[in-house]
Amino acid sequence: MVNKIRFERDNVIRVASQLFWQKGFYATSTRDLQEAVNMRPGSIYAAFGSKEGLYSESLKDYTVQMKSQIEGFLSSADSVLGGLRAFVENVVIETKDCCPSAICMLVKANSEFSEKHSRLYTLSVELAAEFESYLTQLFEQAINNGELNNTLTGLEYARFFQVQFTGLRGYFNRPNVDKLAQPMINQMFMLMKTL
Amino acid sequence: MVNKIRFERDNVIRVASQLFWQKGFYATSTRDLQEAVNMRPGSIYAAFGSKEGLYSESLKDYTVQMKSQIEGFLSSADSVLGGLRAFVENVVIETKDCCPSAICMLVKANSEFSEKHSRLYTLSVELAAEFESYLTQLFEQAINNGELNNTLTGLEYARFFQVQFTGLRGYFNRPNVDKLAQPMINQMFMLMKTL
DNA sequence: TTTTAACTTGAGCAGTCGCTCAAAATCAAA
DNA sequence: TTTGATTTTGAGCGACTGCTCAAGTTAAAA
C-alpha cells in the first residue's frame, strides 16, 4: 500500500515534470497541473505543499531520469564515449520532436530563476553540480580505459562536455537545422579526443 | 520634436529590455514595467499595443545593441578574431555581474516560448538567423584575412562560435566558477583554429 | 458493524494579471 | 485666447493566479 502510494506519487511527479519542462515554471499554472495529473488542488497541496514544492520534486526527478537514461546507453555500448555519444545523439536527434523541450530542464531552470537567492535557483545549481560530478566519474573512467588521454582531468572533460552539449541543444532548439545535428555531434566528439 | 519622441521611445525600450532580459517574459508583470519605465498603463499601451509588443521591440533592440557592441570591439582590435575574443571575454568575464543575465536574451527567449507557433518564438528564431548571418560575414572576413583556414565555411565557423558561446554563457550562469572563464575562452579560440 | 484516521473534493478567497477608456493635461496652430 | 488634436492619467474591469479548508469519501483497524 505504501508502495502503491509511492508509485502514484512518482507518476504524478513525472507528468508534472513534463509540463514544467515544456512550459517553464511561471508559464505553468496550477490549473494546468491539476488537469495534467488529474488531481484537485487540495490533494496536490497536501502532497507537495506548493507549486514550488511540486516543481522541486519534478526537477530532482528529471536529473534522476537523465542519469538512468545515460546508464542505459552506457550498458549497451562498448565504451564510455560510445555510450555518451549514443545519449547525445538520442537527445539531439531522435527525441528532438517527442520531448517537452530541446533544452535541458536544468539549464532552463537555471536561466528562468533570476533571483539568485531563491530556493529554485539554488536547487538548480545544486543539481547541476551533482550532475557534473557524475559526468566527472564517467570521464575519469574513460581516461583510465585509454579512451581519452590524460592531459585533461575528468572534471575538465566533464566541463567541456557540458558546454558542448548545452550549446548544441540550444542551437537545435529552432526549426530547419536537423541535418546539421549529426556532423556537429561528430565534431564535438572529435574535438574531445583532440584536447 | 519627432526626434525627441523617438529618443524617449528608444529609452523606454532599453529599460524594458533590461527587465525582460533579467526576469523573462512571463515573470515580468506590466506593473513591473510601468514602474521601471515610469509610464502609466495607458501610455504604454498607446505606444506599444501590448506587453508582447513591448517585448518584441525590446528583443529587437537587444540584438541591435549586441551587434553594435561587437562592432565596438572589432574597431579597436587588430583582427576579427581578436575583436570577437574581446567581446566574448567582456560578456563572460567583465559584465558577468553588472548584466541582467549571464544568458543571451535571444537564447532565453528561444527557450522560454514553448509554443512554436507563437509570435515571440518566431521572432526569436528570425533574430537568431539574422545574427547568424551577421556572424557568418565576420568569419568570412576572418578567412579572407588568413586568420582562419578555409576548410570550413564562414557559416560553419559561425555555427561553431554560437554553440561555444551559448554553452559557455550557460555554464557560467552559476556561482563559483569565475576562475574557469578565461581558460575556457582560450580553449574555445584555440579549438576554432584547429578545425 | 462501528470507529477512526487518512485522503479527496471543489467552491471560493484574496490578490494579481493584462489591459481599457473617460477624463484631464498638454501643446501647437489659428 | 481659443481651438482641436495628441498624449497622459489612473481607477478599475473581468479573468486568472496560487492556494485554503470545511465537508465528503474511503478503507483499514477495532
DSSP for chain A, written as a single string: -HHHHHHHHHHHHHHHHHHHHHH-STTS-HHHHHHHHT--HHHHHHHHSSHHHHHHHHHHHHHHHHHHHHHHHHHTSSSHHHHHHHHHHIIIIITTTSSS-SS-HHHHHHHH---TTSHHHHHHHHHHHHHHHHHHHHHHHHHHTTSS-TTS-HHHHHHHHHHHHHHHHHHTSSSS-GGGHHHHHHHHHHHHHH-
Residue B51's pLDDT is what?
Answer: 98
- Judged against a pLDDT cut of 90, whether residue B188 lies above it is answered with yes
* CA distance linking residue B142 with residue A82, whole number of Å: 35
Classified as helix, coil or strand, B98 is coil
Separation in Å, CA B155 to CA A82, A191, B104: 29, 19, 20
B115: alpha, beta or left? (left if phi > 0; alpha if psi -120 to 50): beta
Of the two residues B3 and A61, the one the predictor is more confident about is A61
Task: Provide, in whole angstroms, the distance separating residue A42's CA from nucleotide C13's C1'.
Answer: 14
Domains along the sequence of chain B with CATH: 55-194 (1.10.357.10)
Q: Which residue is listed with cell 542505459?
A: A72
- pLDDT confidence of residue B186: 98
In chain B, what residues touch A107 (CB-CB under 8 Å)?
111, 170
Average pLDDT of span B58-67:
98
Q: Could B163 and A162 be called an inter-chain contact, meaning their C-beta atoms sit closer than 8 Å?
A: no
Residue A27: predicted pLDDT:
98
Tens of pLDDT, residue by residue over A1-29, are 345 667 689 999 999 999 999 999 999 99
Residues 134-173 of A with CB under 8 A from B: 159-160, 162-168, 170-171, 173
Helix, coil or strand: residue B117 = coil
- State the pLDDT at residue A20: 98
User: Out of A27, A128, A168, whose CB is closest to B26?
Assistant: A27
Residue with smallest Cα–C1' gap to D6: B46
Q: Residue A1 has what pLDDT?
A: 39
State the pLDDT at residue B1: 43
Percent of chain A residues topping a pLDDT of 90: 93
Residue A5 is predicted with a pLDDT of 67
Task: Pick from A108, A114, A169, A186 the residue to mutate for testing the B interface (most B CBs within 10 Å).
Answer: A114
3-state secondary structure B38-69: CCCHHHHHHHHCCHHHHHHHHHHHHHHHHHHH
Average pLDDT for B178-186: 97
Over the stretch A121-178, which tens digit does the pLDDT of each residue have? Answer: 999 999 999 999 999 999 999 999 999 999 999 999 999 999 999 999 999 999 999 9
- Which chain B residues are closer than 8 Å to A103 by Cβ? 111
B194 — contact with chain A (CB < 8 Å)?
yes
CA distance A130 to chain B (A): 13
Give the mutation candidate from B114, B124, B151, B169 for the A interface (greatest A CB count, under 10 A): B114
Tell me if chain B has a CB within 8 Å of the CB of A186: no
Region B65-83: what's the mean pLDDT?
98
The minimum CA-CA distance between B111 and chain A, rounded to whole Å, is 7
Question: Nearest-CA residue of chain B relative to A129?
Answer: B174
Contact present, B100 and B16 (Cβ < 8 Å): no
pLDDT attached to residue A97: 83
| Confidence band for B7, pLDDT divided at 50, 70 and 90 | confident
Nearest-by-Cβ selection for A114 from B22, B168, B187: B22
- The grid coordinates of residue A77 equal 555500448
pLDDT (0 to 100) of residue B172: 96
pLDDT, averaged across chain A: 96
Best residue of A52, A133, A171, A194 to probe chain B, by most B CBs closer than 10 Å: A171
CB contact under 8 A, B24 and A114: yes
Residue A96 pLDDT? 84
Q: Inform me whether the pLDDT recorded for A74 exceeds 70.
A: yes
What's residue B194's pLDDT?
Answer: 92
- Mapped onto helix, strand or coil, the DSSP state of residue B28 is coil
Task: Inform me whether the pLDDT recorded for B2 exceeds 60.
Answer: no
Could you tell me the end-to-end alpha-carbon distance of chain B, in angstroms, rounded to an integer?
53
| Confidence grade of residue B3 (pLDDT, cut at 50, 70, 90) | low
- pLDDT, one tens digit per residue, over A23-71 is 999 999 999 999 999 999 999 999 999 999 999 999 999 999 999 999 9
User: Is A19 in contact with A32 (CB distance < 8 Å)?
Assistant: yes
Give the residue with minimal CA–C1' separation from C21: B42
Rounded-to-10 torsion of CA A59, A64, A68, A74: 90
Closest CA to A135 of A110, A113, A108, A166: A166
Q: Tell whether the model's pLDDT for residue B12 goes beyond 80.
A: yes
- Is the pLDDT at B161 greater than 80? The verdict is yes
The reply to whether A23 touches chain B by the CB within 8 Å rule is: yes
